[in-house]
């Protein structure tokens, strides 16, 4: 969060539509709460095992992530209005965002 940190990146310079690191290889699972809208509106995108629920993956990316299949195509969440809380709480430039970018090889 501090400009003096060598891993600091200004949030204004980060564009989710050009990155998608958090929805790609940076994280293996997005846990879903029992009362999330995605369960009702997009059940085909959810894996349910006993009491655990998580978003399906399409290879190394979230199954709800659209685009980004080539360098010119931007990323977009196909279920943005109904995305899980973990995704809603994710903010560009946050520590989690920078960690996702680091894991995906996009920053230091």
Q: Which residue has tokens 């990155």?
A: 19
Nearest-5° Cα angle at 21, 103 to 26: 40
pLDDT digits (tens, 9 = 90+) for 61-76: 999 999 988 878 899 9
pTM for the full predicted model: 0.79
First-residue to last-residue Cα distance in the chain: 14
pLDDT digits (tens, 9 = 90+) for 65-107: 999 888 788 999 999 999 999 998 888 888 888 889 888 888 7
């Amino acid at each position: 969060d501090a400009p003096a940190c060598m891993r600091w990146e200004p949030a204004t310079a980060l564009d989710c539509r050009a990155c998608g690191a958090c929805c790609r290889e940076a994280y293996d699972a997005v846990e879903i709460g029992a009362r999330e809208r995605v369960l009702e509106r997009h059940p085909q995108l959810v894996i349910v095992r006993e009491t655990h629920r998580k978003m399906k993956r399409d290879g190394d990316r979230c199954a709800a992530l659209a685009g980004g299949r080539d360098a010119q195509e931007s990323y977009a969440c196909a279920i943005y209005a109904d995305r899980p809380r973990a995704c809603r709480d994710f903010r560009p430039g946050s520590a989690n965002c920078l960690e996702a970018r680091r894991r995906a090889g996009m920053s230091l």
